[in-house]
Amino acid sequence: MKHLLEVADLGADGIDQVLRLTDSFVEVSGRTIPKVPALRGKTVVSLFYEDSTRTRLSFETAAKRLSADTMSFSVSSSSVSKGEGLRDTVETIDAMGVDAIVVRHKSSGVPWRIASWVRASVVNAGDGWHEHPTQALLDCYTIRSRRGSLDGLRIAIVGDIAHSRVARSDVTAFAALGASVTLVAPPTLLPPSLEGWPVQVCHRLDEVLGGLDVVYLLRLQRERMTEALIPSLREYRTLYGLTAERAGRLRPDALIMHPGPMNRGVEIDAEAAGDARSVITAQVANGVAVRMAVLYLLLGSGADLVAPLPELAAQA
């Protein structure tokens, strides 16, 4: 595989391969010195045209734990502020001989364009409302590590589906692994067409809450809204927020998930985020190992891995 642009690049077998490889990198991440020489001599650049905390740090940590060199490109302190266009910027970076470009951009499709211009591998770290494949992989990994498999699980993705690249990637990945996915949102926060989406739709959280294996809350992405799509944050919380009271009605073995950043008191209350069934912190921790697996699959030869990583050796 040369690039990871969308979940469909992997399919169910590819997702499974990444998740199995992730187990090895979770083990590496738990070591006193959480580092392997797998990508020594490779360079990974993060090119973020949109704000990010966890995704950017997660990719950079992943690259460093694989012993790759990392470069970070910040739009505000680069020639982009002098008006340099995307293609010139990307070709300049590629000309330096980098091996992977991890890109986040507010416009859908940008990672595909970049992939057509460069020699390096491209990883989509979020393009507009479109896709965020490594988020979907870390979500699958987190669910699988708690529940063994996604097959047959009932998962509700709740909230601002319309503006969410996380929802698009998660739906594809969860459905590929056999889960039954329900989107829970007011009509104004659903995409205009759901044709081809392998989902059910429900407008009332309380209707599905008690039967769920996973409740996945999304942030209200107000920076992407150009008009008022909900009457008020208060009403949104009343109908769709995971309050402590609602968390009390979840099954004892249900999982509470959120991609971050959270708006506490809106889509999720602090008590629910801190509930024993919340795996929100595990999602962040697993994100590093999943991204190690992705970078290793795209760039690694596997030849110089240190023992004991029999699974990695088998992959090589």
Which residues of the chain form contacts with ligand NCD (CB under 6 A)?
54-55, 126, 132, 135, 165-166, 219, 221, 259-260
CA of 293: how far to CAs of 199, 217, 282, in Å? Answer: 28, 26, 17
Measured from each CB, the residue nearest to ligand NCD is 219
Q: Distance between terminal CA atoms of the chain?
A: 13
For 158, list phi and psi in degrees, rounded to 5.
-115, 130
Closest to ligand NCD by CB, 48 or 73: 48
Minimum separation from the CB atom of position 251 to ligand NCD (A): 25
Minimum separation from the CB atom of position 166 to ligand NCD (A): 5
Closest to ligand NCD by CB, 65 or 132: 132
DSSP state of 252: T
Closest to ligand NCD by CB, 24 or 263: 263
Tokens 């008020």 -> residue: 232
Closest to ligand NCD by CB, 43 or 283: 283
Closest to ligand NCD by CB, 54 or 64: 54
Minimum separation from the CB atom of position 96 to ligand NCD (A): 27
Minimum separation from the CB atom of position 154 to ligand NCD (A): 22
In whole angstroms, give the CA distance from residue 179 to residue 239: 25
CA of 34: how far to CAs of 54, 128, 167, 183, 228, in Å? Answer: 19, 33, 31, 38, 46
Q: Give the gyration radius of the chain's Cα atoms.
A: 20
In whole angstroms, give the CA distance from residue 64 to residue 230: 42
